[in-house]
Amino acid sequence: MNSVIDVINKRVSLRKYAQRDISKEHLNLIIDSAIKAPTAGNQCLYSIIMIKDSETKEILSKSCDNQPFIAKAPLILIFAADQQKWFDYFQHRGVKEYAKKENISFEAPQESDFIIACEDALIAAQNAVIAAESLGIGSCYIGDIIENYEFHKELLNLEDWVFPVCMLCFGYYEEDFKRVYRKRFDKKFIVFEEKYKKLTTDELEEMFEEKEKRYVENNKYNAENFAQMLYAQKTGAEFSREMARSMRVALKKWDGRKL
C-alpha cells in the first residue's frame, strides 16, 4: 500500500459538500491533472466545461434526473467527447480538397471517433477525480448528463461532434463526514484469465447473492425478486428510456457522411 492507493481506496461518491468554494490552487491542480491524462495520439479529443453559475447548476440538477444535491456542488465539470475541434481544423486546412486529390475519403466523425473521444474524456475525468480526492475534495459522477440531449446541447452550446459523456460534481468533504463503502461484486466475477467466461446460472446466483438481500417484499413495483425490482427501478425505468432515446439521437450526428 502507498499513499496513492490509499486515496483510491478511501474515495466514496460524495453527494453532500462543505459549502465553500474550491480554492483556485486546487481547481488548477484538478484541471491540470485531467489534462495530464493519457489521450489517444496526444490529440486531446475532449473538452471540459466548467460550471460555477448557480442558475446553471440549478437547471442541471433538474435535467439530470432531478438530483437536488447537484445544485449545491461548489464545482461542476462536464467532460465532453470532442471531435469538433479536429474536424473544424481539418476543414480549415483543406483536408477535404487534399483527400479528393489523393483519392481518399474524407468523412465526418463516426461511431469509432465517438468512442475514442469518449475514452479520452473519461480517462481525463478519472484523473480529475483522483487528484481532487487527494486534496480532500470529494466527487460524484452524474451519468444522467447523457439524458435530454437536445436540451443540454442548447444549454451548453454544444456542437454536433461534442458529446457530454459524463458530469462530475466536486466539493470539499464536510469535517464530520462518515464514509460508507459499498461492497463490490467478488473479484472472480469481474476478472477473467486469458478469456471471458459466460457465467452459469449457479455463478450468477452466487454473484448476486449479496445484492438480493436488498430485495423488499412489499415493494411498489410488484417485483417478486431483486432482479425485477432493480429492472423496474433502474434499467427499465423512465430515466433509462430517456437516456436510450438521447443516446440514439446524439449518435446519429456521428454518421461518417462524406464531407
User: Of 16, 18, 67, 119, which lies in the binding site for its own copies, with binding defined by CB under 8 A?
Assistant: 119
Contact status: 218 vs its own copies (CB under 8 A): no
Site for its own copies in 223-252 (CB under 8 A): 223-228, 231-232, 234-236, 240, 243-244, 246-248, 251
Buried b or exposed e, range 136-171, using 16+ CB within 10 angstroms:
ebbbbbbebbbbbbeebbeebebbbbbbbbbbbbbb
Contact 78, 164 (CB under 8 A): yes
Contact 138, 17 (CB under 8 A): yes
Nearer to its own copies, 35 or 71 (CB): 35
**Alpha carbon distance 131, 124 (integer Å):** 11
Site for its own copies in 158-187 (CB under 8 A): 158-159, 162, 165-166, 182, 184-185, 187
User: Of 15, 16, 18, 56, which lies in the binding site for its own copies, with binding defined by CB under 8 A?
Assistant: 56
Contact status: 100 vs its own copies (CB under 8 A): no
DSSP bridge pairs for 140: 169
Q: Count Cβ atoms within 10 A of the Cβ of residue 75 and give its class: 0-12 exposed, 13-18 middle, 19 or more buried.
A: buried
Nearer to its own copies, 18 or 219 (CB): 219
User: Of 18, 72, 199, 206, which lies in the binding site for its own copies, with binding defined by CB under 8 A?
Assistant: 199
**Cβ-proximal residues to 189 (8 Å cutoff; 6+ apart), any chain:** 199, 203, 207
Q: Helices in 74-169 by DSSP H: which ranges? A: 84-92, 95-102, 111-134, 149-156
Site for its own copies in 58-77 (CB under 8 A): none
Contact status: 54 vs its own copies (CB under 8 A): no
C-alpha cell at 236: 427499465
Contact status: 33 vs its own copies (CB under 8 A): yes
Minimal distance, residue 20 CB to its own copies, in Å: 20
User: Of 180, 193, 218, 220, which lies in the binding site for its own copies, with binding defined by CB under 8 A?
Assistant: 193
DSSP bridge pairs for 142: 167
Part of the chain binding its own copies (CB under 8 A), chosen from 15-23, 26-34, 63-71, 172-180? 26-34
Site for its own copies in 80-99 (CB under 8 A): 80, 84-86, 88-90, 92-95, 98-99
